Structure formats: C-alpha cells, structure tokens
C-alpha cells in the first residue's frame, strides 16, 4: 500500500529546553515553532526528545541500564522520569491547543514495549486513527518497559525508526530533525579547524564522512555519531532525511514545505 503522504518532525530536546537548567522550557522558541508547524497545514507526526526534563532524572537513576537493585529508589526514579516527560509534553500540547490546533499525545511508555532486544509499537492503529481525524499525534522520548521485568529509555530517534517501519496506511515522505545547529559539518580541505556544512549526503557516503566534532551543539546522547547511526536505520526504508536548524526562523516551515534552506539533506 502506498499510503497518504506524511512527514515526521523531531524537535530536539536542546532546541526547546535549556540543557543546563532542569525543567526549563524556551517558550519563545516553542511558540514560534508551534506557529510554523500550524501554518504549513501539512500532515505530520511530531516527536520530541527529553531535553532538560527527562535526561537528568534518567541519568540520576540509571534508567538506561535497566533494573538494578543497587540503585536506590530506582523504580521511583522511573516514575519520576516519565512524570517529567509528561510535564514537558503537556507544555508542548498546550502550546498547540492555545492556538486552537488539535493535537493528541501518544504516551510512548504505554504504546511501546521491549521483548528480547526488539522494541514493538502497539499503538500504530491509534496513531493512524489520530492522523485520519486530522489531529496531530505527538510522541516523545520516554521510559520503555520490557517483557523480561526490566526497562530502559526509548529515544525520539528510535520512535522514528519504529514508525517508519510499522506505519501501514501512511507513507513517510521525509524525516526532519530540527536541532540547534545547521546540520552535519565535515572537514574542509585546509586544516582541522576548517569545516563546512554537508549539504547533500548520499546514503553510501555516510560512513566515509570526515566529521567535525561539534557535539556541544548536537542534541542527542551519543553526539553526531549516534545521530548518524539513527539516520542509517531510517534510510533502510528509502526515506530522505533533513537535519535543519530549528533556531532559525522559518526553517521548520520551509522544510515541511520542501522549500530550499541551508541544511543537510541525506538521500537514501
């Protein structure tokens, strides 16, 4: 089935929050991005990361590493991590509702479960029913329970992979990562300090890139290498990807409209 055209837009946690300050949201950026998304009138699934809400707690209670009885109050920490993410998500939901735009959160931790190293999405039909009603589904990095009695974290990037894999009636035509940097930087010809933005990258070139480490500016745990790994899994589905700067006004709008912007496009 070909399915209806759909975008997936991921808002990096560092775009919407100040990673130095726990539970701090950058309202002016959120408000502008909300408006840009609404203005496009495009059909999309919105995903956001944990930013300064989920990450500090997930780290404190070692949620990434799974059940560990040596970590004091770890299951309480698991609860608190989800609670923080729900709080973050609610602020984003509110931003859309304040503009009379219908959105529905899909609680990731009640929709995805892990079973012997595989993660399964159990709410694909609900996400598609939401899209059918022209309501924008919003998912987010969250805790992930496991069938074997343990748990971990599911990142926004993993959610994107699972959606690209499992959506039935919709076909993802582009995945957009909105970050706080223009895209992927590679080494220039002169010296180490010389670098330039990679504008177009083909899938087969992805592993040979001479990356410039700008981890400070990259959103996700694992830095740019982690992001590239996530990108590779999505490219399996022959879906083009854009890495764009969400701090720059109009970039999210333009990317969702397929207008030209200064960014990195990765082609399958």
Q: Which is nearer to a second copy, 169 or 233 (CB)?
A: 169
Residue 114 CB contacts under 8 Å (≥ 6 apart), including other chains: 120, 144, 145, 146, 147, 152
Shortest Cβ 187–a second copy spacing (Å): 44
Shortest Cβ 147–a second copy spacing (Å): 6
Q: Which is nearer to a second copy, 20 or 149 (CB)?
A: 149
Shortest Cβ 76–a second copy spacing (Å): 5
Q: What x/- string results for residues 101 through 140 when contact with a second copy is judged by CB under 8 A?
A: xxxxxxx-xxx-x--------xx-xx--xx-xxxx-----
Among 38, 71, 145, 214, binds a second copy (CB under 8 A): 145
Dmax (CA) for the chain in angstroms is: 53
Handedness of CA 212, 213, 217, 223 (dihedral sign): positive
Order of strands across the sheet with 200-202? 103-105, 136-140, 44-48, 4-11, 170-179, 241-245, 264-267, 200-202
Q: What x/- string results for residues 63 through 102 when contact with a second copy is judged by CB under 8 A?
A: ----x-----x-xx-xxx-xx--xx--x--xx--x--xxx
Q: What does the alpha-carbon distance between residue 123 and residue 130 come to, in Å, rounded to a whole number?
A: 11
- Identify the three-state secondary structure at position 56: helix
**DSSP symbol at 86:** H
Shortest Cβ 97–a second copy spacing (Å): 6
Query: How much helix, strand and coil, in percent to the nearest 5, is found in the chain?
Result: 40, 25, 35
- Contact between 163 and a second copy by CB under 8 A: the answer reads no
Contacts with a second copy by CB under 8 A lie at 67, 73, 75-76, 78-80, 82-83, 86-87, 90, 93-94, 97, 100-107, 109-111, 113, 122-123, 125-126, 129-130, 132-135, 145-147, 149, 151
């Amino acid at each position: 089935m070909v399915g209806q055209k759909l975008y997936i837009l991921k808002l990096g946690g560092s775009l919407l929050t100040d990673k130095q300050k726990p539970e701090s949201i950058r309202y002016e950026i959120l408000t502008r991005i909300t408006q840009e998304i609404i203005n496009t009138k495009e059909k999309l699934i919105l995903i956001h990361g944990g930013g300064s809400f989920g990450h500090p707690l997930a780290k404190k209670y070692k949620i990434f590493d799974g059940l560990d009885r040596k970590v004091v109050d770890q299951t309480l920490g698991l609860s608190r991590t989800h609670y923080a993410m729900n709080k973050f998500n609610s602020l984003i939901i509110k931003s859309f509702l304040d503009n009379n735009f219908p959105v529905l959160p899909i609680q990731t931790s009640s929709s995805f479960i892990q079973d012997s190293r595989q993660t399964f999405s159990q709410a694909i039909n609900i996400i598609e029913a939401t899209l059918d009603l022209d309501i924008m589904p919003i998912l987010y990095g969250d805790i992930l329970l496991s069938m074997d009695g343990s748990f971990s974290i599911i990142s926004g990037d993993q959610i994107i992979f699972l959606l690209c894999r499992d959506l039935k009636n919709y076909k993802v035509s582009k995945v957009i990562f909105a970050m706080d940097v223009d895209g992927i930087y590679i080494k220039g010809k002169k010296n180490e300090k010389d670098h330039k933005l990679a504008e177009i990258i083909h899938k087969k070139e992805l592993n040979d890139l001479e990356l410039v480490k700008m981890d400070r500016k990259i959103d996700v745990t694992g830095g740019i290498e982690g992001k590239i790994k996530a990108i590779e899994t999505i490219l399996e589905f022959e879906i083009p990807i854009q890495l764009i700067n969400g701090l720059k006004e109009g970039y999210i709008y333009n990317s969702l409209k397929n207008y030209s912007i200064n960014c990195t496009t990765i082609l399958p």
